């Protein structure tokens, strides 16, 4: 079996099977390093340096010599990962509760995330606790998050079959012949990633507000409903952030 050389944060170099998952490589190294075990427990993604530096899923296969480090949940990159995954989590919760809703985009923003939806009748602030409760139920299910790369034409076919015409429009505008999808349970979304390895790894979040938005930010297009949220590495960090928001209003 072909091998690759993986260099870790402590300078150690190990020969590992080509195709090993980034998280598995980190786990094997951590077994020989007590401090590494603690870092692994906090990891939500991995940083791979080969030709440049890239943050990837812990399940991403390593195919060439590289430098490898875990991305801790409390780091700026780790917070981006959990916030991006929280956006997918919210979209999955919305689809479970309101299956007639169409999904559009759900990016990370400063201190949080949002997702734009098209739902007959829209959303009200009173819907947020119900959506949040469903999000917590999905976290408790600890669903594996799986990346899949498919032909652009296949992705269009799948989303068209699901009636997600906003996703179809997005994919039709992508020049690449291959796109990546992320699956968690019954939910699938178009995304570059990276994401947490399972829904149980999203530690603390809160949905904050509902607002209006326009498709692709153009007032000539259809109006959508935007739900904002925030996610943090711990409940303590979340509560501290919410407290700062309240103090800023005074």
Domain ranges of the chain: 3-72, 77-249
Please say whether the beta carbons of 71 and 22 come within 8 A: no
- Residue 37, pLDDT score: 66
pLDDT reading at 186 higher than 90: yes
pLDDT reading at 10 higher than 90: no
pLDDT reading at 33 higher than 70: no
Mean pLDDT of the region 67-96: 98
Distances (CA, A) of 180 to 120, 138, 186: 29, 22, 16
- Residue 35, pLDDT score: 62
CA 191 to chain centre: 8
The CATH classification number of 77-249 equals 3.30.980.10
Fold for 3-72, please state it: Ubiquitin-like (UB roll) (3.10.20)
């Amino acid at each position: 079996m072909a091998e690759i050389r993986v260099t870790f944060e402590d300078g150690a170099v190990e020969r590992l099977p080509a195709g090993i998952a980034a998280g598995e490589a980190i786990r094997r190294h951590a077994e020989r390093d007590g401090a590494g075990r603690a870092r692994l427990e906090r990891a939500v993604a991995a940083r791979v340096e080969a030709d440049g530096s890239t943050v990837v899923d812990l399940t991403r296969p390593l195919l060439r010599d590289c430098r490898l480090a875990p991305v801790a949940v409390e780091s700026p990159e780790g917070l981006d990962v959990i916030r991006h995954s929280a956006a997918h989590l919210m979209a999955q919760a919305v689809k479970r509760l309101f299956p007639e809703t169409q999904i559009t985009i759900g990016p990370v923003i400063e201190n949080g995330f949002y997702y734009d939806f098209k739902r007959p009748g829209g959303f009200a602030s009173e819907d947020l606790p119900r959506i949040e409760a469903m999000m917590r139920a999905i976290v408790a299910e600890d669903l594996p998050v799986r990346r899949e790369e498919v032909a652009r034409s296949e992705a269009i076919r799948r989303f068209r079959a699901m009636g997600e015409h906003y996703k179809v429009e997005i994919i039709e505008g992508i020049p690449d012949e291959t796109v990546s999808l992320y699956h968690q349970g019954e939910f699938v979304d178009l995304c570059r990633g990276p994401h947490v390895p399972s829904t149980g790894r999203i530690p603390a979040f809160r949905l904050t507000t509902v607002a209006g938005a326009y498709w692709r930010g153009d007032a000539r297009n259809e109006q959508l409903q935007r739900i904002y949220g925030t996610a943090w590495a711990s409940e303590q960090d979340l509560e501290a952030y919410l407290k700062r928001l309240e103090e800023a209003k005074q």
